[in-house]
Amino acid sequence: MARYLHGHAPSVLASHTVRTAENSCGHLLPHLREGMRVLDVGCGPATITLDLAELVGPSGQVTGLELLEETLELGRAEAARRGDERTRFEAGDVMALPYADGSFDVVHAHQVLQHLTDPVAALREMWRVLAPGGVLAVRDADYAEMSWHPQPRELDRWRELYLAIARANEATPDAARHLRAWARAAGLENIELGASTWAYADEETCSWWGNLWQKRALTSRFTEEVLERELASQQELEEISSAWQAWGSDADAMFIMTHGELLAFRPTV
């Protein structure tokens, strides 16, 4: 598994905690039923995980999986805040899931494959623990296809740095466009593919996104990796940070993030 480029700084978690089942896995929702057993791989702060738990009801069982125990504590804290005592949070590696074949009716992963060194092997492993008749649901972004206006050179440089670090970590920051190829290579069956976007296109959301990246440019694992690899100076990161703030306050600002979406349905026999 590649090093997780974003890390878990407060500015990163601020973006993760606004994710919901509705805004992040709408392609999966029509296939959920009461009583399903769900595995949420890379659950992070578990806002999506706990929404899924509500959707499969008290007769269902949802498990949130993360590699590090410290990350699981974020999910447990959110569960406690919501009064959810049923959802499980367990440590494990998607490359070697600690579950028997056919353990889950749904396996879900949001923004996970882009960070892995072998996404095909991860898909095979998620498929292995999927029960007959179950559904595997994946959604991943494509950093190379992100677009924004205005487009100052500092934000172009931000993306250049992000792509360089991710690829140096043997990850795939343009994962969305690879989903079909990866699914076929992994031997998945009954595949459905699509795409969706997040769009920041009003004063509130652009200000929020700009302020997040103003901080993330200076106080996140991205910052550490840029400086460790000597890809940019502290001064250049400060210029990128300022550019994010200026972009977020521009009345004409707009940012579009493209995601690829994959569903694969395991045959019943």
| pLDDT above 80: residue 262 | yes
Residue 197 in domain: yes
What pLDDT band is residue 256 in, cutting at 50, 70 and 90? very high
Distance, CA of 247 to CA of 78 (rounded, Å): 32
Q: Which residues contact 77 (CB under 8 A, 6 or more apart)?
A: none
Residue 2 in domain: no
Query: Tens digits of per-residue pLDDT, 106-152?
Result: 999 999 999 999 999 999 999 999 999 999 999 999 999 999 999 99
DSSP letters for 104-122: EEEEEEES-GGG-S-HHHH
Residue 90: its pLDDT value, please?
97
Mean of pLDDT values over 74-85: 95
Domain range for 73 is: 10-265
Mean of pLDDT values over 251-255: 98
Residue 12: its pLDDT value, please?
52
φ/ψ region of 69 (left if φ > 0, alpha if ψ in -120 to 50, else beta) reads: alpha
Residue 196 in domain: yes
Q: Which residues contact 84 (CB under 8 A, 6 or more apart)?
A: 50, 53
Distance, CA of 151 to CA of 199 (rounded, Å): 16
Q: Which residues contact 54 (CB under 8 A, 6 or more apart)?
A: none
Distance, CA of 70 to CA of 266 (rounded, Å): 33
- In this structure, what CATH number is given to the domain that contains residue 115? 3.40.50.150
Query: Tens digits of per-residue pLDDT, 25-56?
Result: 999 999 999 999 999 999 999 999 999 999 99
Residue 4: its pLDDT value, please?
55
Residue 154 in domain: yes
Mean of pLDDT values over 239-267: 98
Distance, CA of 214 to CA of 231 (rounded, Å): 18
> Number of folded domains in the chain?
1
| pLDDT above 70: residue 9 | no
Higher pLDDT, 92 or 10: 92
Residue 1: its pLDDT value, please?
47
Residue 52 in domain: yes
| pLDDT above 50: residue 248 | yes
Q: CB–CB of 246/42 below 8 Å?
A: no
Cα 120 to chain center, whole Å?
A: 17
Query: Tens digits of per-residue pLDDT, 186-239?
Result: 999 999 999 999 999 999 999 999 999 999 999 988 999 999 999 999 999 999
The CA-based dihedral angle spanning residues 93, 99, 102, 107, taken in that order and rounded to the nearest 10 degrees: -40
- Burial letters 53-82, b for 16+ CB under 10 A, else e: bebbeeebbbbbbbbeeebbebbbebbeee
| pLDDT above 90: residue 265 | yes
Residue 86 in domain: yes
Distance, CA of 60 to CA of 83 (rounded, Å): 16
| pLDDT above 70: residue 15 | no
Query: Tens digits of per-residue pLDDT, 159-197?
Result: 999 999 999 999 999 999 999 999 999 999 999 999 999
Residue 1 in domain: no
Query: Tens digits of per-residue pLDDT, 82-107?
Result: 999 999 999 999 999 999 999 999 99
Residue 3 in domain: no
